[in-house]
A and B are shown apart, each in its own frame.
Chain A
Amino acid sequence: MNEMDDDEIVRLFHSNGGEERAFRILVEKYNRRLYWHIRKIVLSHEDSDDILQNTFVKVWRGLKEFRNESKLFTWMYRVATNEAINFLSEKQRRPYGNTMEITPLLENRLESDVFFCGDSIQKELQRAVLGLPERQRLVFNMKYFDDMKYEDMAEILGVAVGTLKATYHNAVKKIENCLRIADALPGIE
Chain B
Amino acid sequence: MRNQEEEYNRKNPFTVPDGYFETLDERIMSRVKEEARPSREKWLRVMRPYFGLAGVFVFAMLMVHWVLPQAFPVKEKQEVETVDFFWQTLVEGQDVEFDEDFNPTEEEIIEYLTQEMETSEFYWIAGVM
Contact = CB atoms under 8 A, between A and B. Distances in A.
Interface of A: 20, 23-24, 27-28, 31-32, 35-36, 39-40, 43, 45, 49, 52-53, 56-57, 60-61, 113, 115-119, 122-123, 125-126, 144-147, 186-187
Contacts of A23: 29, 32
Contacts of B31: 53, 56-57
A137 to B, nearest CB: 15
A60 B21 contact: no
A163 to B, nearest CB: 24
B11 A52 contact: no
B36 A147 contact: no
A56 B25 CA distance: 10
Nearest to A57: B35
B35 to A, nearest CB: 5
Nearest to B32: A60
B28 A53 contact: yes
B13 A117 contact: yes
A185 to B, nearest CB: 9
Contacts of A61: 35
Interface residues of B, number: 23
**Chain A: interface secondary structure?**
helix
A167 B15 CA distance: 28
Contact of B7 (A40, A56, A147): A147
Contacts of A32: 21
Contact of B8 (A35, A39, A122, A146): A146
**Chain B: interface secondary structure?**
helix
Interface centre among B10, B16, B25 (most CB of A within 10 A): B16
Interface in B3-28: 4, 7-8, 10-17, 20-21, 24-25, 27-28
A20 B10 CA distance: 34
A60 B35 contact: yes
Contact of B12 (A31, A56, A145): A145
12 contacts: A20-B33, A24-B25, A27-B29, A31-B24, A31-B25, A31-B28, A45-B14, A52-B28, A56-B31, A60-B35, A117-B13, A118-B14
Contact of A36 (B12, B25, B36): B12
Contacts of A53: 27-28, 31
A144 B17 contact: no
A39 B16 CA distance: 10
Contacts of B24: 27, 31, 35, 52
Given A20-B33, A113-B14, A147-B7, 12 more contacts: A31-B24, A31-B28, A35-B16, A39-B14, A45-B14, A49-B20, A56-B32, A60-B35, A60-B36, A117-B13, A118-B14, A145-B11
